[in-house]
Amino acid sequence: MVRDGTRPVAGGDGRFGQLDLIGEPLRLMLFTTYQFLIGFLPAALAGFFALRAFGLHKASITFLLICSLAFYAIGSLVHLGLLAGSIGVNYFLGRTIAQERPYRRLLLIGGVGFNLALIFWFKYLDFTLENLAPLTGTTHTLRNIILPLGISFFTFQQIGYLVDCYTDKIPERNFRQYALFVSFFPQLIAGPIVHHSHTRPQFAALARPGFDLNALSYGVMIFALGLGKKALVADPIARAIDPIYTMAASGEPLTVALSIAAILGYTLQIYFDFSGYCDMAIGLGLMFGIRLPINFNSPYKSASIIEFWKRWHITLSKFLRDYVYIPLGGNRAGEVMRLRNIFLTMLIGGVWHGAAWTFIIWGALHATAITANHATRMVWPGLDRINSAGPKLLKRAALLAFIMGSWVYFRSPSVDAAHTVFAGLLGTGLGDISLSSPPALTDYTVPVQIYLFMGFASLIALFAPNSLEITGYKENWKEPLPNLSGPAPRMELTPSAALTTAILFTGGLAVAWQPSIFIYFNF
Amino acid sequence: MKQPRLSPIGFLFTVTFCVAMLFSISILVPHNKHDRFERHHDGTTQKADWIYARLTFNPTPVDVALIGTSRTGAGLSAPRIEAAYCMATGQRIHIANLSIPQTGRNLHAVIVKELLQHKSPGLILVEMNEHEARKPHPGFIFLADAEDILRAPVLINLNFASDLLRLPGRQLDLFMSGLLPNGSRVDSAQDHLSSDHLDRTDRLVLRDGSIVSRDVIVDRPYLAREKTRRTQSAKATHVLPEFLHPLEYRFSRIYLERIEEAAANAGAQIDYAYLPAWEEPTFPPTLAAELGGRKPSFVPTPDIANDPDLWLDPTHLNAAGARALTAEFAEWLVQTAPNLGRPAAPGPCPSVD
**What would the pLDDT profile of A238-265 be if each residue is shown by its tens digit?**
988 988 998 888 888 888 889 999 999 9
d(CA A375, CA A75): 45
Beta bridge partners of B67: B126
- Please name the residues in contact with B276: beta carbons below 8 A apart, sequence gap of 6 or more: B129, B130, B282, B299, B300, B304, B305
Which of A235, A234, A241 lies closest to A445 in space, CA to CA?
A241
Instruction: Spell out which residues of chain B touch residue A5, defining contact as CB-CB under 8 Å.
Output: 218-219, 222
The alpha carbon of residue B317 is apart from the nearest alpha carbon of chain A, in Å, by 9
Average confidence (pLDDT) over B310-325: 94
CB contact under 8 Å between B6 and A13, yes or no, is no
A474-A507-A286 Cα angle (round to 5): 25
Beta bridge partners of B95: B64
CB contact under 8 Å between A11 and B316, yes or no, is yes
Residue B123 host element (H or E): strand B123-128
**Burial grade of A400 (CB within 10 A; 0-12, 13-18, 19 or more):** middle
Which letter, b or e, does each residue of A122-142 get, where b requires 16 or more Cβ atoms within 10 Å of its Cβ? bbebbbebeeeeeeeeeebee
A318 touches A191 (CB < 8 A): no
Beta bridge partners of B203: B213
Per-residue H/E/C for A225-291: HHHHHHHHHHHHHHHHHHHHHHHHHCCCCCCHHHHHHHHHHHHHHHHHHHHHHHHHHHHHHHHCCCC
CB contact under 8 Å between B169 and A510, yes or no, is yes
The alpha carbon of residue B89 is apart from the nearest alpha carbon of chain A, in Å, by 31
CB atoms within 10 A of CB B230: 17
CA-based max dimension of chain B: 84
B194 pLDDT above the threshold of 60: no
CB contact under 8 Å between A12 and B218, yes or no, is no
CB contact under 8 Å between A11 and B102, yes or no, is no
Which of B209, B69, B214 lies closest to B138 in space, CA to CA?
B69
Instruction: Spell out which residues of chain A touch residue B41, defining contact as CB-CB under 8 Å.
Output: 514
The alpha carbon of residue B205 is apart from the nearest alpha carbon of chain A, in Å, by 9
pLDDT (0 to 100) of residue A362? 92
A13 touches B102 (CB < 8 A): yes
Residue A134 host element (H or E): helix A125-136
Instruction: Spell out which residues of chain A touch residue B144, defining contact as CB-CB under 8 Å.
Output: none
Of B299 and A478, more confident: B299
CB contact under 8 Å between B166 and A34, yes or no, is yes
Average confidence (pLDDT) over B269-273: 96
Instruction: Spell out which residues of chain B touch residue A445, defining contact as CB-CB under 8 Å.
Output: 183-184
Helices (H), chain B: 8-26, 33-38, 48-56, 70-75, 78-89, 105-118, 140-143, 146-150, 160-179, 189-192, 220-233, 245-248, 250-266, 285-290, 302-306, 319-336
CB atoms within 10 A of CB B234: 11
Which letter, b or e, does each residue of B4-24 get, where b requires 16 or more Cβ atoms within 10 Å of its Cβ? eebebeebbebbeebbeebbe
- Closest residue on chain B to A504 (Cα): B19
Spans in chain A with pLDDT lower than 50: 1-26, 430-441
CB atoms within 10 A of CB A428: 12
From the list A20, A501, A510, the residue facing B172 with the nearest CB is A510
Instruction: Spell out which residues of chain A touch residue B169, defining contact as CB-CB under 8 Å.
Output: 34, 509-514
| Helix, coil or strand: residue A442 | coil
DSSP state of A2: E
d(CA B163, CA B141): 6
Which of B31, B46, B40 lies closest to B146 in space, CA to CA?
B31
B225-239 pLDDT, tens digit each: 988 888 776 667 777
Beta bridge partners of B263: none
From the list A6, A447, A498, the residue facing B180 with the nearest CB is A447
Number of residues in chain B: 353
Residue A13 contacts B, CB cutoff 8 Å: yes
The alpha carbon of residue B216 is apart from the nearest alpha carbon of chain A, in Å, by 5
- Exposure on the CB side of residue A466, measured as CA atoms within 13 A: 23
Residue A488 contacts B, CB cutoff 8 Å: no
Q: Phi/psi class of residue A96: alpha, beta or left (left: φ > 0; alpha: ψ in -120 to 50)? A: alpha
CB contact under 8 Å between A502 and B172, yes or no, is no
Residue A11 contacts B, CB cutoff 8 Å: yes
Residue B244 φ then ψ, to 5°: -100, 0
CB contact under 8 Å between B319 and A505, yes or no, is no
The alpha carbon of residue B82 is apart from the nearest alpha carbon of chain A, in Å, by 24
From the list B8, B71, B214, the residue facing A10 with the nearest CB is B214
d(CA B120, CA A58): 67
pLDDT (0 to 100) of residue A71? 92
Residue A2 contacts B, CB cutoff 8 Å: yes
d(CA B44, CA A14): 6
Query: Which of the residues A79, A196, A353, A366 is marked catalytic?
Result: A353
CB contact under 8 Å between A512 and B218, yes or no, is no
pLDDT (0 to 100) of residue B186? 41
Using CA atoms, how far residue A189 sits from A75, A154, A502, B47, B283, in Å, is 10, 8, 26, 37, 49
- Could you tell me what percent of chain B has a pLDDT over 90? 56
Residue A51 contacts B, CB cutoff 8 Å: no
A418-447 residues touching B, CB cutoff 8 A: 443-447
Instruction: Spell out which residues of chain A touch residue B184, defining contact as CB-CB under 8 Å.
Output: 240, 243, 444-445, 447
CB contact under 8 Å between A495 and B7, yes or no, is no
Number of residues in chain A: 523
Using CA atoms, how far residue A291 sits from A164, A282, A430, in Å, is 20, 7, 50
pLDDT (0 to 100) of residue A434? 45
In the structure, what pLDDT confidence band is assigned to residue B184 with cuts at 50, 70 and 90?
very low
A389-418 residues touching B, CB cutoff 8 A: none
- Please name the residues in contact with B141: beta carbons below 8 A apart, sequence gap of 6 or more: A513, B149, B159, B162, B163, B166, B167, B170
CB contact under 8 Å between A14 and B101, yes or no, is yes
A505 touches A227 (CB < 8 A): yes
Indicate whether this model's pTM tops 0.90.
no
Average confidence (pLDDT) over B30-39: 87
| Helix, coil or strand: residue B353 | coil
* A–B CB contacts, 8 A cutoff, strictly below: 191
Radius of gyration of chain A (CA): 24
pLDDT (0 to 100) of residue A8? 33
Handedness of CA A326, A328, A334, A339 (dihedral sign): negative
Q: ipTM of the predicted structure?
A: 0.82
| Helix, coil or strand: residue A498 | helix
Average confidence (pLDDT) over B256-270: 96
From the list A8, A224, A445, the residue facing B312 with the nearest CB is A8
Which of B184, B132, B156, B67 lies closest to B289 in space, CA to CA?
B132
d(CA B340, CA B334): 9
Handedness of CA B207, B210, B215, B220 (dihedral sign): negative
CB contact under 8 Å between B101 and A510, yes or no, is no
Residue A449 contacts B, CB cutoff 8 Å: yes
pLDDT (0 to 100) of residue B183? 39
CB atoms within 10 A of CB B205: 12
**Strands B269-274 and B123-128, how do they pair?**
parallel
**Strands B123-128 and B64-67, how do they pair?**
parallel
CB atoms within 10 A of CB B209: 6
From the list B19, B181, B204, the residue facing A10 with the nearest CB is B204
Instruction: Spell out which residues of chain A touch residue B179, defining contact as CB-CB under 8 Å.
Output: 449
Instruction: Spell out which residues of chain B touch residue A210, defining contact as CB-CB under 8 Å.
Output: none
From the list A3, A22, A217, the residue facing B11 with the nearest CB is A217
| Helix, coil or strand: residue A513 | coil
Which of A299, A317, A310, A321 lies closest to A402 in space, CA to CA?
A299
d(CA A516, CA A241): 13
Instruction: Spell out which residues of chain B touch residue A243, defining contact as CB-CB under 8 Å.
Output: 184
Instruction: Spell out which residues of chain B touch residue A217, defining contact as CB-CB under 8 Å.
Output: 8, 11-12
A42-A46-A49 Cα angle (round to 5): 135
CB contact under 8 Å between A9 and B18, yes or no, is no
CB contact under 8 Å between B8 and A7, yes or no, is no
pLDDT (0 to 100) of residue B40? 62
Instruction: Spell out which residues of chain A touch residue B17, defining contact as CB-CB under 8 Å.
Output: 502
DSSP-derived secondary structure for A405-437:
HHHHHHHSSSHHHHHHHHHHHTT-SS----SSS
d(CA A28, CA A71): 9
| Helix, coil or strand: residue A494 | coil
Per the annotation, the verdict on A353 as an active-site residue is yes
From the list B15, B204, B319, the residue facing A16 with the nearest CB is B204
CB contact under 8 Å between A509 and B214, yes or no, is no
The alpha carbon of residue B19 is apart from the nearest alpha carbon of chain A, in Å, by 5
Using CA atoms, how far residue B334 sits from B96, B199, B204, B272, B339, in Å, is 16, 21, 28, 15, 8
DSSP-derived secondary structure for B225-247:
HHHHHHHHHPPPS--S-GGGHHH
